[in-house]
Structure 1
């Protein structure tokens, strides 16, 4: 929908200059090219870049209440605003616009901080209470919309993206070493940390109250409190389909064209079927990777997606991506995401977003279904772990575990044995687990070993162990992935990359009522035997063909392993053997050389590790060195896909 930014000063007589807000807004222009808005008063400055979707004529921001004691900037959509508006009008509130976000101002007047429990949607907002001289920063329950902040010597600044904060002279671009340590474990940086010292994320389902230079943090939602359902399978499947129908209908609210990201799989096909059933006139977009003019095996879903698009008679567009396009795209992706993210799914997302933005302003996707209904193969591990635990303890501890420790990295079963031997929240590192602590120790220089000594990124999941004791192992995994991986990897890149193309992404599966419904289900309704997402498949039997429901999952990712061993090999080696990379002081040159050599075999674990380091180095060159040309291959230099970051 937009980009928001602002500053709050402790001195109540200082009015932020226009140029300061203009500089911040300029870095958010791509998020909202339709309109810029500002509000300045003593101690406060708010900025807004608008992407017009609902109430395009009058929904201007910053937005005030009737007496202008409250001011709001909000990024996102409130899907239940019609019923909230009716309720507030019945209580005497007067609305100045038809905008969905105006309900936030009036809800705050009625309920104060408790307003968040009323909202159904995706949002990140800043609300200034002039009477209390305080700022409220709030983020939606799942972290669909991003929100960053930093403390200033004289106050606080916030923004939808880090680039806006980097325009402030008080903010320095200094790497966060602890974030690097976490990044190598998870391939993302868990909130509230970022890769920049002093810049933090507002955590999902949290709000901050900022007053006179002091911050208090509050959590307003946690699905651990959801009670288990008493329904049987058939009742759950029927209820789930009804809930998804309502949710998708709400997510279609728009005054601009809407599309769907369509693979050949279950999640996006479900969204399309429900959207078409609601009468939407849709564009659909699908992507496939090719090599030497031929479909890349295992990364080509265009044929299956085309069948589904034809079934619902959408205006369908196909995007084909070849390896020679990747080096140039990576520079643009890293700049858009703003933090290192070692997740190759950002590559197809970049290309499909760029294409979709030519035709639509809003797009729906199936993001989140895998995390709430158990769609990844790692979610089969609790069943295998139970069988492993049935073995006599002396066999597990004295034979199998020591033998597994001798196996090389990437060998099938090595990590499973380690994981199955300990309590789940203490070992689980999520879907994106990349480098083990032992591998990092071998990779680090002596300086990095000293800086990270005694620090285990896994403590963030282990800290939840006591809270998760009442859950079965599968639901423990899903909870941890929803808390960390989903918001700090999946949704972070989804927002940043789509909004870089002025494209609003909506994710119906992550409506909080759908998430709560999924949380109420027993593990056996999510994984049944070897069937993943069982209840979702059962629910969609009445709207989708069996061939779609039971199609083998391909996943919306890129053939990074084959690229690293072939087309991207020179680019990877150029980045990771350069003096600049090695002189940063993070990694042992011989360990990096050994990793590059091992990755030539195409083992998934090691090629993924190489990609993680490549993205890290690109980020350094863009954001720390401020050197655009040094991040690109000769081909991408011709495209000039990025600009140096200033500030």
Structure 2
């Protein structure tokens, strides 16, 4: 729910500064705080019991937020990790499994270690200057220290409009960095050494000689193990999100099998055509025999939640489904639940997103003989003078245009900012402070890291989504929505053993032609209702664009915020006028997303005085980053 915050300073100011840094950690969930001050600084963890670990001995402080296991045991993790640190140094973090953010401050060696779990469930950011190293799970906590500056990074704001979040390792603030999943930062003698203690390792042929029955048996055993770990010792106060999709329905069913009692499930619906999945959630609940609770979110609910939702995120965040996730978590909290299990990660491990099939279809074009493409198909479609409408030809041309784009660039073919054009959307003065190409550079860099490894396209896309879709977006959304509601979030599909199993599956078990996650669905055919196995992915999508038209108070609130944003020097007033008028009338759902992005940006700025103050002083032209090198000792 909250994490560690500490300056590694050997002065009396450290303890007082830590109190200021710790306050934001439990601002929303009122989580209990544990703190420790030593010769080289101070550490603090704010979290519910079981997720708060602190150990101090002879100049050594260990702080852990989360529920990790060390050598298979969750007992006394911080104390045992301290011993490993003394014998193995930075390599000690590789012995942890499960969700965690870790900070070790060692006065004796003058060293410090920061690390986060392999899926990036728990975040950790850091900055350093002449006064020392500062780190926290929340940027609000970092900025509470008087030695940490809060200048907004204009490039991060551009990335927000591009990705609808700020992808790691960048942050919304200049000079502050965030650890990637499976990454650590080792500081020795004032030198920062950053590296990966774990990376997702696909072994596509590992199960080639294992039949379906053997794979199914291992999968179901691992699934039960993952759900048991997610339930922990407080299973009676643990519930589960239930959207009616395959992943959440699977978790709900297995909870009942593991505990021997009905799961407590929670669902959200919308009274809007094409958005309501409640019928599937009810079907899954009946099939699993769960004690089911549901709530329909209204436009008035959205209005009421927006300010608090903007406040709980320490960086701009534009995924509108955080609103229904919050109301789902709030409903569970009112029912006495302190922990909610989510199905997040199933799509990214087993191939559940529709775009995987579409990208396979597009990649099929480049496998056609070049002579056929260049001498026959393309001249016919692009050079032939069409005297009358030819719908099939139009579709074929659009297909070829997209198929001719390389990955990962074609993943952004419907990107809002690219479709409008950044010069149409953004002020000239703002554009002067950013590099629009850096956004696609983020994707290209992550995607091309795995080129040359001989991986299938489906696994290359899964690895990309594990970082950008999951760690930077979906996990953050659920975790923050739960924090605002006062519950803890857990994700069984991201159990280390489940991730390792999925990485060993053959590509065809994840995408067979155009069939998504074939192994997953076949293996769970005895657990899930057939209708849920067959249904397409949906989730808790918010009908915001439709409600802008039908609900005047929501529209007025949104447009008032866009009016405020006009004076920030980021978005062109002319674009806002066009968005509120012509564009929104043409396609409410599509362009409503841009209204939401701009609305939440303005709300985030308003709810974070430090960010608003930085904006008032103008943007710096570029960011500075402390040099980091890989640590050969880990």
TM-score for both structures, normalised by structure 1: 0.84
1:226-625 equivalences under 5 Å are 226-229=203-206, 230=208, 231-255=210-234, 257-279=237-259, 281=261, 283-290=263-270, 295-358=271-334, 359-389=336-366, 390=368, 392-393=373-374, 418-429=401-412, 433-436=415-418, 439-453=421-435, 455-463=437-445, 464-465=447-448, 467-469=450-452, 470-567=454-551, 568-576=554-562, 578=563, 580-596=564-580, 597-624=582-609
Cα distance change of structure 1 residues 491 and 415 upon mapping to structure 2, 3 Å threshold? farther
Q: How many residues align?
A: 591
Q: Deviations over 1:80-132 (max 9, x none)?
A: 447447xxxxxxxxxxxx44444422333443322233222000010122321
- Give the CA deviation at 1:473: 2.2
- Give the CA deviation at 1:178: 0.8
Q: Is the 8 A contact 2:5 2:21 kept in 1?
A: yes
Cα distance change of structure 1 residues 412 and 362 upon mapping to structure 2, 3 Å threshold? farther
User: What secondary structure, in the 3-state scheme, does the structure 2 residue paired with 1:583 have?
Assistant: helix
Cα distance change of structure 1 residues 31 and 620 upon mapping to structure 2, 3 Å threshold? closer
- Give the CA deviation at 1:297: 2.5
Q: Deviations over 1:286-305 (max 9, x none)?
A: 33334xxxx32333233432
Q: Is the 8 A contact 1:32 1:51 kept in 2?
A: no
Cα distance in 2, alignment partners of residues 300 and 40 from structure 1: 51
Cα distance change of structure 1 residues 453 and 39 upon mapping to structure 2, 3 Å threshold? closer
Cα distance change of structure 1 residues 381 and 227 upon mapping to structure 2, 3 Å threshold? closer
Cα distance change of structure 1 residues 377 and 177 upon mapping to structure 2, 3 Å threshold? same
- Give the CA deviation at 1:3: 2.7
- Give the CA deviation at 1:621: 1.8
Q: Deviations over 1:426-469 (max 9, x none)?
A: 44459x94421762232122223322346331112212326324
Q: Is the 8 A contact 2:242 2:281 kept in 1?
A: yes
Q: Is the 8 A contact 1:565 1:601 kept in 2?
A: no
- Give the CA deviation at 1:489: 0.7
Q: Is the 8 A contact 2:316 2:604 kept in 1?
A: yes
| TM-align CA RMSD | 2.9
Cα distance change of structure 1 residues 626 and 486 upon mapping to structure 2, 3 Å threshold? closer
Cα distance in 1, alignment partners of residues 527 and 492 from structure 2: 17
Q: Is the 8 A contact 2:318 2:600 kept in 1?
A: yes
Q: Which residue of 1 aligns with 2:54?
A: 62
Q: Which residue of 2 aligns with 1:4?
A: 4
Cα distance change of structure 1 residues 413 and 615 upon mapping to structure 2, 3 Å threshold? farther
Q: Is 1:39–2:28 an aligned residue pair? A: no
Q: Is the 8 A contact 1:16 1:40 kept in 2?
A: no
Cα distance in 1, alignment partners of residues 597 and 224 from structure 2: 38
- Give the CA deviation at 1:267: 0.5
- Give the CA deviation at 1:213: 3.7
1:61-100 equivalences under 5 Å are 61-64=53-56, 67-78=57-68, 80-81=69-70, 83-84=72-73, 98-100=75-77
Cα distance change of structure 1 residues 74 and 280 upon mapping to structure 2, 3 Å threshold? farther
- Give the CA deviation at 1:200: 1.9
TM-score for both structures, normalised by structure 2: 0.86
Q: Deviations over 1:132-171 (max 9, x none)?
A: 1111000001100111112243112111111111212233
Q: Which has the higher helix share?
A: 2
Q: Which residue of 1 aligns with 2:155?
A: 178
User: What secondary structure, in the 3-state scheme, does the structure 1 residue paired with 2:272 have?
Assistant: strand
Cα distance change of structure 1 residues 136 and 397 upon mapping to structure 2, 3 Å threshold? farther
Cα distance change of structure 1 residues 433 and 346 upon mapping to structure 2, 3 Å threshold? farther
Cα distance change of structure 1 residues 139 and 398 upon mapping to structure 2, 3 Å threshold? farther
Cα distance change of structure 1 residues 500 and 133 upon mapping to structure 2, 3 Å threshold? farther
User: What secondary structure, in the 3-state scheme, does the structure 2 residue paired with 1:467 have?
Assistant: coil
Q: Deviations over 1:546-601 (max 9, x none)?
A: 2332234322221123123332332222222x1x3122222222122223321223
User: What secondary structure, in the 3-state scheme, does the structure 2 residue paired with 1:113 have?
Assistant: helix
Cα distance change of structure 1 residues 270 and 584 upon mapping to structure 2, 3 Å threshold? same
Cα distance change of structure 1 residues 423 and 330 upon mapping to structure 2, 3 Å threshold? same
Q: Is the 8 A contact 1:447 1:585 kept in 2?
A: yes
Q: Is the 8 A contact 2:239 2:264 kept in 1?
A: yes
Q: Which residue of 1 aligns with 2:167?
A: 190
